[in-house]
A = this chain, B = another copy of it.
Amino acid sequence: MNNPWTTQSSRLVYETPWLRVIEDQVVRPDGADGIYSYIETRVAVAAVALTPANEVYLVGQYRYPTQHYSWELVEGGAEPDEAPLTCIQRELREEAGLRARKWSPLGNEIHFSNCISAERGYIFLAEELEETQSAPDATEVLEVRVVPLDDALEMVYQGEIQDAFSIIGLLRAQRHIIERTVG
């Protein structure tokens, strides 16, 4: 289980506020010299914002890299030094105009594409919601819908929700609710 790679040097080859590309000179597991390039990005955070009637908030937006319209959980990227929970509280306010009085972590850290990316994600269940002022980013054009969790799960099963983070968040919320109902 030890790291079979040796890093000889590391350089930053490209950087934006959201994306860093790292190129490492390595010795590979088979002993040969090589290059391993990967990306670093902001910590990703998602919220399953749940009403007492087991409805959830979904956000719709056009995603530039995949060139398609995507229905997702409330999601965001943490600023440097911003805690995941603080980030998602901000995003829930900005994107859905909501504040939640009850927050629970939903499962462990997720890795989205661990062959080429160091990105890590955390999911929270947000409950006891109250409306506040929303303030979307200038770069975001968002729609917000409140749908029964069962309908959102059906969107997962039918492949209408394709965002890995949202798929996992909704399935974890389902399991969480079943477990606490069953006791």
Residues of A within 8 A of B (CB): 1-5, 13-14, 16, 18-19, 21, 24, 26, 28-30, 32, 34-39, 41, 44, 60, 62-67, 69-70, 75, 77, 107-121, 138-141, 157-160, 162-165, 167-168, 171, 175
CB distance from A138 to the nearest CB of B (A): 4
Which residues from B are CB-within-8-Å of A14? 13-14, 21, 37
CB-nearest residue of chain B relative to A39? Answer: B39
Instruction: Return chain B residues, CB-CB under 8 Å to A32.
Output: 138
Is A5 in contact with B62, judged by CB distance below 8 angstroms?
Answer: yes
- 23 residue pairs of the A-B complex, CB under 8 angstroms, read A1-B60, A3-B67, A5-B62, A14-B21, A14-B37, A19-B38, A21-B21, A26-B64, A28-B138, A28-B139, A29-B141, A39-B39, A63-B114, A65-B117, A66-B111, A66-B120, A75-B115, A108-B160, A110-B162, A110-B167, A116-B119, A164-B168, A168-B168
Question: In the complex, what residue of chain B is closest to A117 when comparing beta carbons?
Answer: B65
Instruction: Give the distance in Å from the alpha carbon of A34 to the alpha carbon of B62 in the complex.
Output: 16
A116 smallest CB distance to B (angstroms): 6
CA gap between A32 and B114 in the complex, in Å: 34
**How far is it, in angstroms, between the C-alpha of A115 and the C-alpha of B158 when the chains are bound?**
22
Most buried by B among A44, A66, A109: A66
How many subunits of this chain does the assembly comprise? 2
CB distance from A120 to the nearest CB of B (A): 7
Residue of B nearest to A140 (CB): B29
Cα distance, A39 to B165, chains bound together (Å): 18
- Contact partner, A119, options B75, B113, B138, B139, Cβ 8 Å: B113
